[in-house]
Amino acid sequence: MINNPQKGISLYIAFMVMTILLAIALGLSTIFISQTKMLKGMGNSVIAFYAADAGIEKILMNRTSPSDIPETLLSNGATYQVIVTAGGTRDCSAQNNYCIKSIGTYQETRRAIEIIY
């Protein structure tokens, strides 16, 4: 019987190639899943931003005497809330008439717009 030291080397090489391919596949799937979640969050971010913009527009329609607007539901499921601070109070400097902050929310995403006039 002849002793062949290279017996089984093809099985070892096949196992190593499969291990490398599996590592690459798992790495790529992790990247794709995180990118998908980020893209979904970006869409929610845009909707939340436009909800905050709707709150600002609502306030600017009555800019002579703006007042807080409680959380308001929009038709797409987003909400906005507007906080009005008079000049010289809290974080609003005395040289401004009003500091207005509108917070838009859609699902778990919140975006805010702040104007000063």
Which stretches within the chain are classed as H helix?
Answer: 9-60
Domain count, the chain: 1
Contact call for residues 100 and 114 (beta carbons, < 8 A): yes
Rounded mean pLDDT, 5-22: 88
- What pTM, to 2 d.p., does this model score? 0.68
**Domain annotation covers residue 32:** yes
Q: What is the pLDDT of residues 85-105, one digit of tens each?
A: 988 887 888 888 889 999 999
List phi, psi (to 5°) of 16. -65, -40
Structure tokens at 106: 């859609």
The pLDDT value given to residue 22: 97
Contact call for residues 65 and 75 (beta carbons, < 8 A): no
Full residue range of the structural domain in which residue 108 is found: 9-116
**Domain annotation covers residue 86:** yes
**Domain annotation covers residue 70:** yes
